[in-house]
Structure 1
Amino acid sequence: MSRVLAVAPVLPGPAHPQERIDDVVLPLLAADASRRALARRLHASSGVRTRHLALPLPAYAGPTSFAQSNAHFVREGTDLAEQAARTALAAAGVDPQDVDLLFFTSVTGIGAPSIDASLVGRLGLRQDVRRVPSFGLGCSGGAAGLGLLHEYLRGRPRGRALLVSVELCSLTFQRDDASTANLVSSGLFGDGASAVVLGGEDVAVPAGRPVPEVVATRSRLYPGTEDQLGWDVRDSGFGIVLSAELPHLLRAHLAGDVKDLLAAHDLEVADVGTWVVHAGGPKIVDAVRDALGLDEAALARTRSTLEAQGNLSSSSVLHVLASTLDDGAPPPGGWAVLMAFGPGVSAELVLLRGREVA
């Protein structure tokens, strides 16, 4: 058993209204006025009201190459990662020297060494900390990271692990690309980071706060869907691949995957009182609702996160988790399911149980 000792979501800069972002970004994406008008209609129905961006709005006229955008990612992303990790470690009461595993995930920039290597020195982690940098899990990276850290800690009851996610989606917008996929993504994705500290079952937990236990995890890769979600890697950077079939895929398969996860613990969907769902977009959230027969109240935190921040890729579900814990959910003894979806197409599920507060 592992425990979620702390979750720290962070956002760069101020919140920008969707309309203000459109004023600056859309002329860079589409020269044709009709395509810009289409983009505004798409953005108005995206469920997103405000977003945070890594750079000041006027700066988005500047980066014209993948190299320039990626340099911004490394610089800004490292600072955000440090902020999130420091906050999470302090909230968990964990000394950086006690961290045994550092899992880093991002799909919006690259580096070798990756950002996690810089975090070792900045945070004061041990030189022998085990590092696992991940690229390619996309929006499922935060949930997948929780599952992998849980598996690592199952045999290490005194171990501590740190998950860090950084996604600067605004740096991936493709200039002079008026494709519908690029127009949709330019109004859906935001920037943010998060960090989670997990401890083994013998690690002391912070007093007075909900500390849910990770009970089980499940990964599912849907065959034949590689071309439905991900990146088209170009000379100019990462071009979005975003299929309209994704909601249909979730409606067809998600209920079976969730039921399989729950059945192993003699549970049913009705036994789960808390749902921590990736804020992937209104159609994705609708598909989760329909597949599992949930009411809108179960998805309120997800909708709120989407409205205020947009889709933060791998960080999104961790921001929803932070909001969930702030609300005192799941209650002691109560069950929660966390889920996110990424390229592959893949689904990552995590079963959580509320623990008595000391």
Structure 2
Amino acid sequence: MRSSHLGEGDAQYNQYDRDIFLAANSPISVALLSLGTAVPETVLRQEEAKELARRLFGRRSAHFEKLAPVFDNAGIEKRHIVRPPDWYEGDHGWKARNDVYLEAAEALYEQAARRALDAAGVGASEVDCLVTVSTTGIATPSLEARVAGRMGFRADAERVPIFGLGCAGGVSGLATAARLAAEREGKTVLFVTVELCSTSIRLDKLSKANIVATALFGDGAAAAVLRSGGSGVASVEGGGEILWPETLGIMGWDVEDPGLGVIFDRAIPPFVEDNMDHAVGQILAKLGVERTGIDRFTCHPGGAKVVAALERSLRLGDGALDHERAVLRDYGNMSAPTVLFVLERLLAEGMPERTMLLALGPGFTTSGLSLVRG
């Protein structure tokens, strides 16, 4: 059953974002200086992923062969994962999974952060604030603290670790970093998001959602350097979030033994098609930006059906989200970092005058951020 369109009174605009995260309302402009991305070395091609899933689930699930075409229709050719394929055939509990998360997340954090800092010509000791987004593992102390000595961060750098944003974290985290940068002239913020979705693959959970996740998920990290004042590859204009009520069961993670259990509702594509356009209109209205002023929407490619639903809802035309499909094809869905991989491709091609980043995540939430060419 398709979800009905939600009116303005139903979708909740995040007051916090509207009033204090909009860089457009700050007297200090915030520049995006650079992006950096990183992925693990191990490459898993889609046909290999399908055979792995067949070994993991096929002998114990009469429904696997019925669901197996999801691997063929996902629009993915390969993805990068943090362990060799045979690791995923083992029986791993919370500690073993989180140990893998900590080791790999620290390494990917450093790679992405160094690439972004080098591209910006900024030293690690110049960073005033560290914003870190990750939801696929637990790190206490948080990731930026664990790598601080190796990276060369200052002891007095402000630390802002954020958990629970899921796929929306790339946009919401970048927006938070921009808001913090706007606090004073010359403030430099490093934003890093790391997600290791493959560590959630579970042998004990033979649900449709878990098999779909095995067909979609990859691992990766992305980083951005922002600074108030001056210029960069783009400037942050502002953005916001929309939270739809009574939608907690659409997307997220269940905290279970022996690890996280993915929540994927089959209603996601129709929900996106019915509701995304109105949500974007709400965010743009708060920004004071006309819809015609957006030259390109740069979206998190959660899956092939979600990309198609975004094109229909936003009236973009079939195939308009070409960079999104290319990133999905080459990396799969890496959760929060994925949208920044798309933005990286757009910047390499030549960014239009104004682009709006969009991502969907647990809540059910959409996050939007408008960038103007630097």
1:314 correspondence with 2:361: no
What secondary structure, in the 3-state scheme, does the structure 2 residue paired with 1:298 have? Answer: coil
Question: Structure 1: 5+ residue runs without aligned partners?
Answer: 206-210
Question: Which residue is equivalent to 1:296?
Answer: 318
Q: Report deviation, 1:117.
A: 0.9
Residues 258 and 349 in structure 1, CA contact (< 8 A), matched pair in contact too: yes
Q: Distance in 2 between matches of 1:199 and 1:119?
A: 22
Q: Which residue of 1 is the match for residue 370 of structure 2?
A: 351
Gaps of 5+ in 2: 1-28
Give the distance between the partners of 1:317 and 1:80, measured in 2 at CA: 17
Displacement of 1:33 = 6.0
Residue of structure 1 in register with 2:244 after alignment:
222
Alpha-carbon deviations, 1:60-99, whole Å to 9, x = none? 2235212111101100110011011011001011111111
SS at match of 1:226: coil
CA–CA separation in structure 1 for the residues paired with 2:49 and 2:287: 46
* 3-state SS of paired residue (1:46): coil
TM-score, normalised on structure 1?
0.92
Please tell me whether the aligned partners of residues 302 and 333 of structure 2 are also in contact (alpha carbons under 8 angstroms): yes
The alignment partner of 1:314 has SS state of coil
How many angstroms does 1:28 deviate by? 2.1
Q: Using the alignment, how far apart are the partners of 1:29 and 1:133 within structure 2?
A: 35
Q: Secondary structure at the match of 1:167?
A: strand
Contact 2:241-2:283 within 8 A present in 1 as well: no
Q: Is residue 88 of structure 2 the alignment partner of residue 70 of structure 1? A: no
C-alpha displacement of 1:14: 4.2
- Are 1:81 and 2:103 matched, yes or no? no
Q: Which amino acid aligns with 2:153?
A: L
Relative to structure 1, is the Cα distance of residues 132 and 327 closer, same or farther in structure 2, using a 3 angstrom cutoff? same
**Equivalent in the alignment of 1:161:** 189
Which one of the candidate residues 304, 317, 341 is aligned to 2:360? 341
| 1: CA distance, partners of 2:72 / 2:54 | 13
1:131 corresponds in structure 2 to 159
Partner of 1:208 in structure 2? none
C-alpha separation in 1, matches of 2:173 and 2:75: 27
SS in 2 for 1:296: coil
Over 3 Å counting, the alpha-carbon distance change for 1:272 and 1:297 in structure 2 is: farther
Residue 323, structure 1, aligned to residue 351, structure 2: no
Q: CA RMSD in A?
A: 1.6
**Size of the alignment, in residue pairs?**
346
Could you tell me whether the CA contact under 8 Å between 1:18 and 1:49 is conserved in 2?
Answer: yes
Instruction: Call closer, same or farther: CA 1:2–1:222 in 2, change over 3 Å.
Output: same
What letter matches 2:259 in structure 1?
Answer: G
Q: CA deviation at 1:178?
A: 1.6
Aligned: 1:101 with 2:129:
yes
The separation in 1 between residues aligned to 2:143 and 2:53, in whole angstroms, is 27
Percent of aligned positions that are identical: 34
CA distance, structure 2, for counterparts of residue 344 and residue 35 of structure 1? 29
Which residue among 37, 57, 66 is the counterpart of 1:29?
57
More displaced stretch, 253-262 vs 212-221: 253-262
Distance 1:270 1:34 in 2: 50
1:283 offset after TM fit, Å? 1.7
Structure 1 position 266, deviation (Å):
4.9
Distance 2:90 2:319 in 1: 42
Residues 308 and 318 in structure 2, CA contact (< 8 A), matched pair in contact too = no
Q: Write the letter of the residue equivalent to 1:349.
A: G
3-state SS of the aligned residue for 1:288? helix
The one-letter amino acid paired with 2:136 is T
User: Amino acid of the residue matched to residue 295 of structure 2?
Assistant: G
Cα distance 1:117–1:4, how it changes in 2: closer, same or farther (>3 A)? same
CA distance in 1, matches of 2:129, 2:320: 33
Q: Give 3-state SS (helix, strand or coil) of 1:147's partner.
A: helix
State whether structure 2 residue 83 is matched by structure 1 residue 55. Answer: yes
- Letter of the aligned partner of 1:233 in structure 2? V
Q: CA deviation at 1:40?
A: 2.3
Cα deviation, 1:186-214, whole Å, max 9, x if unaligned, reads 10111111111111123x64xxxxx1111
| 1:338 alignment partner, SS class | strand
How many angstroms apart in 1 are the aligned matches of 2:108 and 2:67? 29
Q: Could you report, residue by residue, the CA deviation over 1:133-191 in whole angstroms, capped at 9, with x for unpaired residues?
A: 11110000110011111111223220111111111111101113221111111101111
The alpha-carbon deviation at position 58 of structure 1 amounts to 2.0
